[in-house]
Each structure stands twice: as C-alpha cells, then as structure tokens.
Amino acid sequence: MTTALGALPAAQQPEWPDRSAAEQAVTELRAMPPLVFAGECDLLRERLAAVSRGEAFLLQGGDCAETFDGVSADNVRNKLKTLLQMAVVLTYAASMPVVKVARLAGQYAKPRSKSTETRDGVTLPAFRGDIVNGFEFTEASRVPDPHRMLRAYHASAATLNLTRAFVGGGFADLHQVHSWNTDFVRTSPAGQRYERLAGRIDQALRFMRAIDIDAETLRKVELYSSHEALLLEYETALTRVDSRTGSPYDVSGHFVWVGERTRQLDGAHLEFASRIRNPIGVKVGPTTSPDDLMALAEKLDPDREPGRLTFVSRMGAAKIREALPPLVQKATASGLVASWVCDPMHGNTYEAASGHKTRKFDDVMDEVRGFFEVHHGLGTHPGGLHVELTGDDVTECVGGGDPIAEDGLGSRYETVCDPRLNRTQSLELAFLVAELLEP
C-alpha cells in the first residue's frame, strides 16, 4: 500500500486559519479543468530527453514570484519577448534546439528561510507568495487565505491563455525577430549586438524564401510552463489521471520542480513528485552529497527514463567549481540519464547596504562560467540555464553592461521576492552563454 501524502512531513506549508474554507477551495479546484494537457507534458519529456543526451539546451526563466497584479498583457508579453530573444541568441550560437520553459502561469508559492518578517520593529508572518497571503506589510494581508488558491488557478489560466495566443498567433514568428527588440534595448550594447544577430537571421530567412522553403515551424514556438511544486494542497488538487495512459499528471503546469528547502527524502514533496508523470526538476545545492543525489534519482526516476529528471544546480559562484564535479561524476558513473541545468541566481543572493536583497551580475556570470567549465572538464553536457528575469527595466541585480549600482537599486526595485535580471542583463547573459555554447 502506498503512504498517503498527508501522513508525510511537508515543509513550508501554510496554516490556514479556517480549515473548512481550505477544504472548500480544494474541492472547487478539483472540479476545474486542467491548465495543461498530459500529452504536452509527454512532449516536453521527449524534448528534455534530447537535453539529457546533449542534443538540446534548456532555457528556463521568469519571475521569482509571479503576482496577481502582474497578470497583464504588457507584463506577460515583455517576459515572453525576453525569453524569445534569449532563445534566438542561444539557438544561433549553439546550432542546437533550445527547449523553452517559462517560470510562468503558476509560480505563486514561495518557500521562506524565516517564517516572520520584521520591519521598523514590527514583526509579521512572512509573505509566502500570492497563492497564500498578501505582500502588503499589514497584519490582515499576511493572514493565509485559502481562497487565494482559486485566484492563483485563474491567474495561471489567464496567463497561459495569453501565452498560448502570443506564441501560436504570430508574435513568436521568427520573422518578428527585430520587433522583440524594443527601443530601450536597441540603444544598449546588448541590444545592438542583438540587432546585428537579428539581421543575420533575416538574411537566412530571405535566402530560405528565395529557394522556396517557408517552413511553418518558423512561425510558431513551443513554450512550456513551469513552477515550483510547493503548495501541496494546490498541486494535488490539480493532479488528474490521464485517460490515455491511466497515469497521474499534475496539470497545473508542464514541468514542476522541488526546491532546495523541500527536497527531504522522506518528505511529502518528493513523494508527490515521484508519483506524477510530468517531467520534474529538483534543486541541488552546495550541501548535496553524491549519495544524496543518487537517493534523489532513485526516488524520482527509478526507471531512469530519459527526460524525466532535471537537476538544477544552485551552488553559488564561489562553490560551483568544487561542489558540482563530485555530483556529476557520480551521476555519470551510475549511468543516470538526468539533465544538468545551472541556476546561477539562488547561490548568489546578498543584502545590499540599502537593505535590498540583490545579486551581482558578475557573480551570476561567474557561476555560469564555472558550470560550463565543470561540464567541459568532465566531458558532460551543460544542459541549460534556469534564471529569474523580467522583461522590464527594473533595478534589482547589481552590475551589467548598463551598470546598476548598489545605491541605485531603489529606483525600480519591484520584485516581491528575489531580485531578477532585467531585460538588458538577461540578453547579456544570453550572449555570454552563447559564447560558451559555440561548437
């Protein structure tokens, strides 16, 4: 008999003040249509299998925490533009397919290292993401409200609907490669570099047209959704048995991952992830031992199925060159088929003198470089990049070619959780990775 998920310890779950309201919300969620389809999850698993074989590269990015207020056409479009531009830069350099997965349409729950937050001598419960409580620093807003799970579902549905329209309805057409480069980016060095690359792509497209190739595949993009599977009541309420295969899928997103704070081997999060058929990720940090890694693989991918498991390493720039090799070596020696993806954000966070949580762009770049060095040294495939970014001109990470100084962080610091790369910094990072990827 399998253990009920509820019998296992589940870290980082809210305590709803009103249990019956939570049960009511879960009942309503269970009746809602799926946000994604099982067949799409299977297709993504196949795409990720190519990543694990070294034949494709994964680009995964989006907000640290989406917000209900952020569900607007401009916000979603700007993030998609940024991802599309990054993907073009990477595809052109790597001459291999780039699998595009957005941290979008479901990234509403946040794990916290501290359960309270203190400001000016006032202590309140920490913000746990819009799916749980409000960001506003008032007692009322920080009370967990289970009705927010339904709002998260609807916000995800609206975001995904818009995303599907954008990527299928002509916006992602490769012939639009110039139009994704907005004016402010066009005036930055990374934007100008992008313009030159877009010009070369245009030329290639004209050549293809001249010889009568006008492939339909250039007009559409395959883009998948992803988020951390953190709030288990929400994720289980959206888990459905697929009528084609009889297997359970978490239909809240195509790809879900288990975070650094919830990957306990005997915990409910890994148990949940082990039971769904979606492609899944797990974060691995500097304290992960080779044995831990093998135990994670055994739990999440006992059949060693290509595309099933992605390790997202988040070591920190100072540690990656020492911490990653023993893990990759162990995985290789044991014949694992997992993909390796670099999250250069979460090991490089610090607090600036102004009190803003930030990251240095140089540290982010350095961790990415370290990630490639490790894989090149071991002869393994640096499979992808997992980043926190936004399509707007925010000032949350320090540095970059259009440099943001620590004392300038306050001018457009808009994140409700971790600092994100802005549009220009994201594009710069893509160019760096492109150089590292060049065959």
Please, what is the minimum distance in Å from the beta carbon of residue 132 to ligand PEP?
A: 14
Question: 261 a known binding residue?
Answer: yes
Q: Which does 283 bind (CB under 5 to 8 A by kind): Mn ion, ligand PEP, none?
A: ligand PEP
Is the CB of 191 or the CB of 316 nearer to ligand PEP? 316
By CB under 5 A, name the one of 228, 235, 418, 428 that touches Mn ion. Answer: 418
Binding site annotation covers 260?
A: yes
Cβ 321 to ligand PEP shortest distance, Å: 19
Is the Cβ–Cβ distance between 282 and 308 less than 8 Å? Answer: no
Q: Which residues lie near ligand PEP (CB under 6 A)?
A: 64, 111, 228, 259-261, 283, 314, 346, 418
Binding partner of residue 402 among ligand PEP, Mn ion, none, CB cut-off 5 to 8 Å per kind: none
Q: Are 420 and 78 in contact (CB under 8 A)?
A: no
Considering the complex, what minimum distance in angstroms separates the CB of residue 228 from ligand PEP? 6
Nearer to ligand PEP, 49 or 320 (CB): 320
Question: In this complex, which beta carbon is closest to ligand PEP, that of residue 228 or of residue 233?
Answer: 228
Q: Is 283 annotated as a binding residue?
A: yes
Minimum distance, C-beta of residue 216 to ligand PEP, in the bound complex (Å):
35
Was 263 annotated as part of a binding site? no
| Least distance (Å) between residue 345 CB and Mn ion | 6
| 42-81 footprint of Mn ion as x/- string (CB under 5 A) | ----------------------x-----------------
298 annotated ligand-binding residue: no
- Start-to-end C-alpha separation, the chain: 50
Considering beta carbons, is residue 239 or 262 the nearer one to Mn ion? 262
259 binds, among Mn ion, ligand PEP, none (CB under 5 to 8 A by kind): ligand PEP
277 annotated ligand-binding residue? no
Q: Looking at beta carbons only, is 363 or 418 nearer to ligand PEP?
A: 418
Residue nearest to ligand PEP (CB): 259
Q: How far is the CB of 303 from Mn ion (least distance, A)?
A: 31
Give the one entry of ligand PEP, Mn ion, none that residue 111 binds, where binding means its C-beta sits below a cut-off of 5 to 8 angstroms depending on kind. ligand PEP
For 100-126, b/e burial (b = at least 16 CB within 10 A) is bbbbbbbbbbbbeeeeeeeeeeeebbb
The residues of the shown chain that bind Mn ion, judged by CB under 5 A, are: 64, 418
Binding-site entries for Mn(2+): 64, 346, 388, 418
